[in-house]
Amino acid sequence: MPRFDLEASIRLENSSALWKTQTSLVDSMATPELLLNRPNSDPPAPKPTVIGVYGLPGCGKSTLLDKLKLHFVNNEFRFFEGSEELASNFENNNLQLFEGLPSGSRDIWRRYAIQSIAKKCAEAGKPGVVAGHLMLWDKDKKSTFEVCTTEDWKRYTHLVYLETDPDLICRQTKADTARERDAVGVDQLSGWQDAEISRLRSLCYENRILFTIVRAERDERLPKVAGLLTKFLHDNQEEECRAIVQKLSDDIRTNHVDTSTILVIDGDKTLVAQDTGMLFWEKEGHSLALKTMFESYKYTREGFLQAALLYEELDEEEFDRLCEIVAQNIMVRPEFVRILKLVKATPRLTVVIATCGLRRVFEKILKKDGLSDAVVAVVGGGRLSADKAVMPEVKAALVQHLRTEMHMRVWAFGDSILDMPMLRKADRAIVVVGVDHKRKQNDSMAETLRHAIKSDGLDVRQFVIPSLTTPPFNIDGLQSIDGDDIEFLLSGLKIHHATHRTSAKLLMTPTRDFSFAGPELREAHCRIGRYLATEFVSDIVGIESYAITNVHGKADVGHRLKNESKTLIVRLMRGGEPMAFGLSEAFPLAMFLHAKQPADLTLEHMDAASTIVLVDGVINNGDSILEFMQHIRRHSPTTPIVVVAGVVQAGAVGPESLLTRGVWQMKNVEIVALRTSMHKYTGQGKTDTGARLFNITELEN
């Protein structure tokens, strides 16, 4: 902090005309430096909101402040003219006394003035709005000099710059007879203004002060600046987050009532390969605008608010035009196009695009690619006047709300450390990695993932795009997943069944008729086995030709199951035995095995089989059948498995079911059933299928 030289200090202390002796803060022995350094025993108060309104002399700051005072009728703000606040410390509010001081003394008084303003705001519990200057004109040197102080950058929280046409300033300066201002040419004013904007942006970024430029015409400034002040006044992270979550919740309840699984997908470098924000500013002509800003603010709330203020510097028409240009140059990744089309065709699925980037760009991209119908909402940022700042914490809150309050199963897709809070909250977390990821990004993300998996137990998969690319993350516990896997898990197991066929209705009637039991019921189940064998299993496994003699005694060609003699039919439960015999009748060369538990299926059995057919009467949740499949896959990773059942409960093969999750990385697995059922029921006693088949219902009771 600068200090007075001895001579200047003596002059100040002996000149009672320089400040008001009646002010309690200033006594005959005080200097402004002593006031700044005076000990304060009070606990530190929260930093008040102090908003600077800057611009060239003659740009209309004072006029705007007067209008703002009338606009905010409830006195939500305290308003200060910086020069008046300085003058108030001197006899008769004489600013010339201040201007006559040495530069070092003026600097200290300026620091005291902004400190005093901040104190008044804190005491009033209201934000302050200060009209001030960064630079003034030295008429002798014909150049500008800075009048800001280190204290300014400690006190300001926001700064709004009124960019004004230099021609207009010249005309207004000449017309303003109430103030004496130096005559400055248009070219000089233009250079001065450019220098101020550049310098202020740099200082604000360096000191993490939110900065924006208002380029509106003078008669349009009031609503623009008043809107910004209102945003600053009501800036509350928790309330904004609640509002975003509530709006999404309302949209889903209104338009997607059947949704049970929701995909929350990040935007930049996830849904699309590019960074839309960087591309936006490239098209605008300032390619490093966001990069420079985030280097100062990092990815904090202030950083995302500053990004919104950066977009706010463009008018609505220009902002929308640039969003359209960016959208026309970007396409949704093909892998996500497939996923979104699946979602579009599946009522129980929907998508939320949750991006810290530009909401409007992603809305335009989705519309252009014909994918808007698959998405319930795009949650993202933009201009501060129209959007809310979306930070990683907001995305995490969305996922948490969808899971805990709306009881949905949530998949989250992201690509960076910023997405980790969201991924941690999801039921299924997927990290998207493209070939364009930089080594530095991969290294930092790898370390974050390694810690999340090892220390926090995060269950996460890496989705490498394109799928032929070598996975970049070699981390224990991090498995890969591809587009086919994702579609498989979202869709559920595909099942071959005859539920709605007339043949199935005829075949299932005896099995549901309570008067059928014992041999008659076993024969009905056997017929079902033969039907499923010829109708579905033969299509799945394929057939082969062999030589036969026809009824005319001539050589002919017949057909049978491919590698029929190497096909192994495994009856699992007693309820599946008659059906298994039906398959055996259809495929008479096939091997037949009774197995009560997976261990009954030995390595010799599996080595001898080209196809294994597992037969059960009913599949309720699939846990038993899954144990057998896992047992087979441990020894025979590629042997085709065909599961055959009379009835399969729909939930057993649905998305994210125990069976689906267990099978999703197995290859060559097919399920065949006579019918599917929405009802989950386990028979007991006289209603148990196995007991009815063998006439032992009384024994079961």
Asked whether residue 644 is assigned to any structural domain, the reply reads yes
- pLDDT at res. 529: 96
Asked whether residue 29 is assigned to any structural domain, the reply reads no
- pLDDT at res. 377: 94
Q: Residue 421's closest CA among 437, 403, 397?
A: 397
Asked whether residue 300 is assigned to any structural domain, the reply reads no
Q: What gap in Å lies between CA 145 and CA 103, rounded to an integer?
A: 11
- pLDDT at res. 217: 85
| Same domain assignment for residues 225 and 246 | no
- In terms of C-beta density within 10 A (0-12 exposed, 13-18 middle, 19 or more buried), how is residue 278 classed? middle
- Spell out, as residue ranges, where the chain has pLDDT lower than 50: 1-30, 41
Asked whether residue 395 is assigned to any structural domain, the reply reads yes
Is residue 431 within a helix (H) or strand (E), and if so which, with residue range?
A: strand 428-434
CB atoms within 10 A of CB 610: 14
Task: Say which residue the tokens 């516990």 belong to.
Answer: 477
| Same domain assignment for residues 317 and 439 | yes
Which among 447, 467, 491 is the end of a domain? 491
| CATH code: domain of residue 177 | 3.40.50.300
- pLDDT tens track for 157-206: 999 999 999 998 888 777 666 666 677 889 999 999 999 999 999 999 99
Is residue 489 within a helix (H) or strand (E), and if so which, with residue range?
A: helix 483-491
Q: What gap in Å lies between CA 465 and CA 337, rounded to an integer?
A: 13
Q: What is the DSSP string of 240-304?
A: HHHHHHHHHHHHHHHH-TT--EEEEE-TBTTTBSS-HHHHHHHHHT-TTHHHHHHHHH-SSHHHH
| Same domain assignment for residues 477 and 600 | no
Helix, coil or strand: residue 417:
helix
| Same domain assignment for residues 435 and 511 | no
CB atoms within 10 A of CB 26: 18
Q: What is the DSSP string of 578-627?
A: HHHHHHHHHSTTSEEEE-SSGGGS-HHHHHH-SEEEEEEEEESS-HHHHH
Which CA distances in Å does 620 have to 440, 504, 580, 664? 49, 19, 18, 18
Asked whether residue 292 is assigned to any structural domain, the reply reads no
Which among 233, 248, 271 is the end of a domain? 233
| Same domain assignment for residues 526 and 623 | yes
Bridge-based pairing of strands 543-549 and 555-561 is: antiparallel
| Same domain assignment for residues 481 and 514 | no
Euclidean distance between the first and the last CA atom of the chain, given in angstroms as a whole number = 94
Q: What gap in Å lies between CA 651 and CA 648, rounded to an integer?
A: 9
Mean pLDDT of the chain: 87
Asked whether residue 178 is assigned to any structural domain, the reply reads yes
| Same domain assignment for residues 558 and 433 | no
| Same domain assignment for residues 350 and 484 | yes
Listed in sequence order, the residues at least 6 apart from 643 whose beta carbon sits closer than 8 Å to its beta carbon are 613, 614, 616, 619, 625, 629, 669, 670, 671, 672
SS3 annotation, 56-68: CCCCCHHHHHHHH
Q: What gap in Å lies between CA 528 and CA 545, rounded to an integer?
A: 25
| Same domain assignment for residues 543 and 485 | no
Of the chain, the percentage scoring pLDDT greater than 90 comes to 61
| CATH code: domain of residue 486 | 3.40.50.1000
| Same domain assignment for residues 509 and 485 | no
- pLDDT tens track for 388-444: 889 999 999 999 999 999 999 999 999 999 999 999 999 999 999 886 655 556 678
Bridge partners for 591 per DSSP? 568
Which CA distances in Å does 699 have to 542, 693, 694? 43, 13, 11
Asked whether residue 302 is assigned to any structural domain, the reply reads no
pTM of the model: 0.77
Q: Which domain holds residue 194?
A: 49-233
Asked whether residue 304 is assigned to any structural domain, the reply reads no
- pLDDT at res. 8: 43
| Same domain assignment for residues 229 and 242 | no
Task: Tell me if 68 sits within 8 A of 51, measured CB to CB.
Answer: no
- pLDDT at res. 667: 80
| Same domain assignment for residues 266 and 147 | no
Which CA distances in Å does 404 have to 240, 398, 399? 19, 10, 9
**Amino acid making up residue 570:** V
Task: Say which residue the tokens 């609640």 belong to.
Answer: 242
| CATH code: domain of residue 518 | 3.40.50.2020
- In terms of C-beta density within 10 A (0-12 exposed, 13-18 middle, 19 or more buried), how is residue 469 classed? exposed
Q: How many domains does the chain have?
A: 3
Residue 421: asked if its preceding bond is cis (omega within 30°), the reply is no
Q: What gap in Å lies between CA 301 and CA 305, rounded to an integer?
A: 6
- pLDDT at res. 468: 61
Which among 491, 525, 547 is the end of a domain? 491
Q: What is the DSSP string of 650-696?
A: GGGGSTT-HHHHHHTT-SSEEEEEEEEES------GGG-HHHHHTT-
